[in-house]
Amino acid sequence: MAQNKLGKRSIRFANPVAVRAWASVAGKKEAEGPLGAEFDFTDNDTYFGQASWELAEKAMQEKALDILAGKAGMRKQDFELVLSGDLLNQCIGSAFTMRNTGIPHIGLYGACSTMALSMLTGSMSVSGGFADRVVAMTSSHFAASERQYRFPLGYGGQRTPTAQWTVTGSGAVLLCPESKGIQVPCATYGVVTDFGIKDAANMGCAMAPAALETIRTHLEDTKSSLEDFDCIFTGDLGQLGKEMLMELASREGLQFGGKLMDCGNLVFDNTAQDVHAGGSGCGCSAIVLCSRILGNLQSGKWKRVLFCGTGALLSPTSTQQGLPIPGVCHAVRLEGEM
């Protein structure tokens, strides 16, 4: 049996992996939200100085990489591997960011689970000795997502009460083989779970079963319980998906108490900012991770967090063909210095 497998579908990083630095870049609406003061960089220009929203996504990722290098005290060229993906068709946000940088690139697709997926896969590369300075990164952009997935913004379509608001932002972490600082001791691979939900304006509920499946598996595989964690972070189920997860969990006797937090529910003031069910998009869990979560782990406020990236694996084509929305959830455990 593989020596770093834990239980059914979790893995341990026997050679230590630390999150040495992190960076968050966000848009205007995110800056006005509850976490606004905690982001490294925000811009009131939704184009981030570019000619299109798609290129704005590239600009956000580039900015995140620059800030990350600065915070880690190195040059961008010192990064040995970048694992990244985004929501744009064919992940062009990530491809154009990496263009002519000379940095090796592994492209990932996990929809809104991409931050956790890139950290899980990146931690394998660090712990396995395949690279020393590994970046896990993702991004999303509200306006680029709306026109790709739903309607052009100029159409002025009404959003449903269950809809979530795609975060404009990018987050990046630097993973290194170090036993000091915030550690990534283990993780749980996601499986693609389909509950038969077909409403593309209610993705939180489509993802909730995958989140429950992965949280439960992580606890079983690592022989731990909710008491061992300060928080379980999902990202991003939004308000409705979070309620559904709590309901599904309680049917199985799993009571989160106050420990369950959702990145989509934290990033905006859902009512005052009129975002309906909360935030979403790859960038959502990424910027919450790279501000509040890693910040509180660094300050010692939290000691152990399970970061569960949730993704809805639909496309406009699958929705138009009447297919349901499969969900996935990858989980990464994060521990502050004990």
Q: Is residue 316 close enough to count as binding a second copy by CB under 8 A? A: yes
Q: Does 193 bind a second copy (CB under 8 A)?
A: yes
Contact residue for a second copy among 24, 42, 61, 125 (CB under 8 A): 125
Stretch that binds a second copy, among 37-45, 117-125, 242-250, 285-293 (CB under 8 A): 117-125
DSSP state for residue 257 in the 8-state scheme = T
- Residues 205 and 278: their CA atoms lie apart, in Å, by 13
Sign of CA pseudo-dihedral 130, 117, 298, 182: negative
Q: Which of 180, 192, 225, 247 binds a second copy (CB under 8 A)?
A: 192
Output 33 or 110, the one with its CB closest to a second copy.
110
Report the site for a second copy in 134-153 (rule: CB under 8 A): 148
Give the closest residue to 134 by CA, choosing from 108, 110, 105, 113: 105
- What's the CA gap between 241 and 296, in Å, rounded? 24
C-alpha count within 13 angstroms, C-beta hemisphere, residue 322: 0
Site for a second copy in 152-181 (CB under 8 A): 177
Is 173 within 8 Å of 19 (Cβ atoms)? yes
* By CB under 8 A, residue 303 contacts a second copy: no
Size of the site for a second copy (CB under 8 A): 68
Residue in the structure block whose two tokens are 């300060």: 230
The Cα–Cα gap between 330 and 274 comes to: 29
| Residue closer to a second copy (CB basis): 235 or 326 | 326
Q: For residue 291, give the DSSP letter.
A: I
Which of 81/212 has CB closer to a second copy? 81
In the bound state with a second copy, the residue whose beta carbon lies nearer, of 100 and 299, is 100
- Kindly indicate which of the ranges 62-70, 135-143, 153-161, 188-196 contains the residues binding a second copy, using the contact rule CB under 8 A: 188-196
Residue with Cβ nearer a second copy (97 or 265): 97
Is the CB of residue 112 less than 8 Å from the CB of residue 281?
A: yes
Burial label, 9 (beta-carbon count in 10 A; 0-12, 13-18, 19+): middle
Nearest by Cα to 105 from 127, 76, 129, 128: 76
x/- mask, a second copy, residues 50-89, rule CB under 8 A, reads -xx-xx------------------------xx---x-xxx
Least Cβ distance, residue 333 to a second copy (angstroms): 15
Interface pattern 96-115 for a second copy (x via CB under 8 A): x-xxxxxxxxxxxxxx----
Residue 189 Cβ vs a second copy, minimum distance, rounded to whole Å: 3
Q: Note whether 43 and 58 are within 8 A (CB).
A: no
Considering only the stretches 48-56, 227-235, 256-264, 273-281, report the one whose residues sit in contact with a second copy under the rule CB under 8 A. 48-56
- Residue 194, preceding peptide bond in cis (omega within 30° of 0): no
Residue 35 CA, chain-centre distance (Å), reads 16
Residues that bind a second copy (CB under 8 A): 1-5, 9, 11, 14, 51-52, 54-55, 80-81, 85, 87-92, 94-96, 98-111, 117, 120-121, 124-132, 148, 177, 189-194, 313-318, 321, 323, 326, 328
